[in-house]
Structure 1
Amino acid sequence: MTVPLPTKPPLKQKLWIWLLWLAGFYAVWLYLVAGQGYWPTAVAHWPMAVAMAIGSYAAGSTPMGGGTVGFPVLVLLFELPASLGRDFSFAIQSIGMTSAAIFILARRQPLAWAILKGAMLGSLIGTPFGIFLIAPYIPELWIKLVFAIVWASFGLLHLFRLNEIAGHSGITDFDERWDFKLGLWIGLLAGATVAAVTGVGIDMVLYTALVLLCRADLKIAIPTSVVIMAFTSVLGVVVKMVSGQGLAPGVFENWLAAAPVVAIGAPLGVFIVAKIGRKPTLLVVATLCVGQFIWTLFTEQQRLGLSGMLWALLAVAACLAGFELLRRWGAVLVGEKAAKADAALLTKAPPKTELPQS
């Protein structure tokens, strides 16, 4: 049974919480650039601030984190190490996505809470596991390819299924424990793999499950994906700093330039997309996702060779096949849920009384 979005009067917004967070962040940033003399460093890295002006809008208005722009800009355009792109994704999203998440919560927007809680618990376990035991053993080229493949498949999914995805209303209400377990496995697996390796992606995995499996409205699925990415990004930064790994050289300098932009840019994306709709933005970002895959294959053709590029294409096809299986499974689950609901209604219906024959 699909549960529609609530029609009762909206809850009172508490935007002062977001404004308080914003004031606190800018106070710290101003202390760094003015009090600690980092202003020349921030100015020297202005190209990243410009890039993240676009990235932060995408982060707040789509299920792709700000690292979706930051990673390819650093790795493909500036030709910096993929590990730097990963760490920068964690760092910049810990500001931009967190700001957007606080904005979403302050506005009291609907979220898929059962799945989100499970995903947060799963990420709490999976992300540190991946950072310590998986990411260090992934070669730089593979990090690029994982990013390119996952984002290309996600982009193609939206180019072909956007009308269907955008047409969902409410969210299919399965058993709350089932939703929690689904979120737990998503957080555990996506946190340990795609998020730990690339710094982004857990939001897209959760979003995909919500729209394909649960048939969730974009107004629920995208804010939920923003919150899980914010949580995972902060977790990733904390784990790296506390464990002594630290962030890759160059992350802080780029973060210093881009952070004040994303702190306001991501929430702005949340606000603007509520006015103009999500389909145009999703189409543009989906096209960029496919474009960065082509760009990656072109720039790495010498190292990949023909066989490597074919394997990358097969990996994209495998992801798309997985999405289609998830979509069909969702259709089955929704059908079963509807059938059970209809059966319950019939059971509760009062028995028919026959008129006495004359």
Structure 2
Amino acid sequence: MKAVKSWPRLWPFYVWLSVFFAAWLLLVTLGHHWSTVIHHWPIALTMTFGSYIAGSTPMGGGTVAFPVLTLLFDMPGALGRNFGLAIQSIGMVSASIYILSSRKEVDWALLRPGMLGALLGTPLGATWVAPFVSDLWVKLIFAVIWASFGIMHLVKLKELVAAEGVSSRWRSLDMPIGLLVGVIGGIASSITGVGIDMLIYATLVLLYRSDLKRAIPTSVILMAFTSVVGISSNALLSAWYPSVYAINPEVFRNWLAAAPVVALGAPFGALVVSLIPRTPTLVVVSLLCVGQFVWTLVQEQVGGLALLGALFGVFVFNALFHGLYHLGRGEDPFELGTHPIELATEDPEG
């Protein structure tokens, strides 16, 4: 009965799907792109899995697309980044509309300033940072971010899955914390196509002690917003200064093939994750995160200072996660201790 009653509230999601598929069909048909769609079937197949991950975990679809394009298909890191932003602008937007229509829990108090920070940080990174990061370091930064995420999950997963409610300890600092996450995450996403979703998720589950049913939808919506801002910024920069900010035409071709898959796959992930245990999915994803780090080091033959830098990056990220975890428990990050945690099961904004 509950499922039947939920159907009418999903009308914005159905309208979105109808408009998107009508526009996609017109674009492919009138532009004579059917051969392009068929030729690029491997990325569409890849994003079947990637879009499910995007909707069911705090990881964008670009987290799967990036290593496949850059490591398996040996394409430039900039192409992987732009494709990730472009495809998430469909898949994660679709998942976000489903999340909002089905009225899942979202931490708006942290999400709003996070979106504002992303609106500032993403174009800033796209203009002044991303074009000047070497292809190798784009791949390494991506690998470091998600390897760190994987390690954090494997170590803390049992506790994260068991969490209920959300701590009120840091609520007075929602605005500066959200802005900081948005700016830093926006810059990171402008380089690799993903990252801000992981940062707000880690902040929620480690510092705010939030349960996953609130943290994951919040991260999906922030990544969707950042992806739209990111690909829009890159498209404008490419039009104005193509010599510096040009977007590889393969981004559009891959997008054409994968867009209809992710439009359904990401919201499907958001639906399924509410029906099955999260632990198996997160364990598999975490192992893949660590695996892609090793794959990147081997594929790119990373050694010397670059290898030391990558390993140090993983250490720094996990030290940050360690600090957030102990601050969330009300402890000194460098001094173990136990303090009670205040939980608020209701949204503090009502």
Do the two structures share a fold, i.e. TM-score over 0.5? yes
C-alpha distance 326-49 of structure 1, shift in aligned 2 (>3 A) = same
Report the Cα offset of residue 265 of structure 1: 0.1
For residues 347-358 of structure 1, the aligned pairs below 5 Å read: none
Report the Cα offset of residue 241 of structure 1: 2.0
SS at match of 1:274: coil
Name the TM-score, length of structure 2 as normaliser. Answer: 0.90
Q: 1:213 aligns with which of 207, 210, 216?
A: 207
Report the Cα offset of residue 177 of structure 1: 4.6
Name the structure 2 match of 1:178: 173
C-alpha distance 122-214 of structure 1, shift in aligned 2 (>3 A) = same
SS at match of 2:199: helix
Report the Cα offset of residue 167 of structure 1: 1.1
For residues 1-358 of structure 1, the aligned pairs below 5 Å read: 14-174=9-169, 176-192=171-187, 194-243=188-237, 244=239, 245=245, 247-301=247-301, 304-332=302-330, 335=339, 338=342
State whether residues 11 and 108 of structure 1, in contact with CA within 8 Å, keep that contact through their aligned partners in structure 2: no
**Aligned amino acid, residue 252 of structure 1:** F
SS at match of 2:74: coil
**Aligned amino acid, residue 256 of structure 1:** L
Percent sequence identity over matched residues? 50
CA distance in 2, matches of 1:136, 1:307: 22
What root-mean-square deviation, in Å, do the aligned CA atoms of Structure 1 and Structure 2 show? 1.8
State whether residues 329 and 341 of structure 2, in contact with CA within 8 Å, keep that contact through their aligned partners in structure 1: no
* Structure 1 gap segments, 5+ residues each: 1-9, 340-358
* Structure 2 gap segments, 5+ residues each: 240-244, 332-337, 344-350
Report the Cα offset of residue 11 of structure 1: 8.8
SS at match of 2:273: helix
State whether residues 60 and 97 of structure 1, in contact with CA within 8 Å, keep that contact through their aligned partners in structure 2: yes
Report the Cα offset of residue 310 of structure 1: 3.0
Report the Cα offset of residue 305 of structure 1: 2.1
**Aligned amino acid, residue 309 of structure 1:** L
Q: In the TM superposition, what whole-angstrom CA distance separates every residue of 1:93-138 from its partner, at most 9, and x where no partner exists?
A: 0000000000000001111101000100000011000000111111
Q: In the TM superposition, what whole-angstrom CA distance separates every residue of 1:185-217 from its partner, at most 9, and x where no partner exists?
A: 10011112x111001110000000000000001
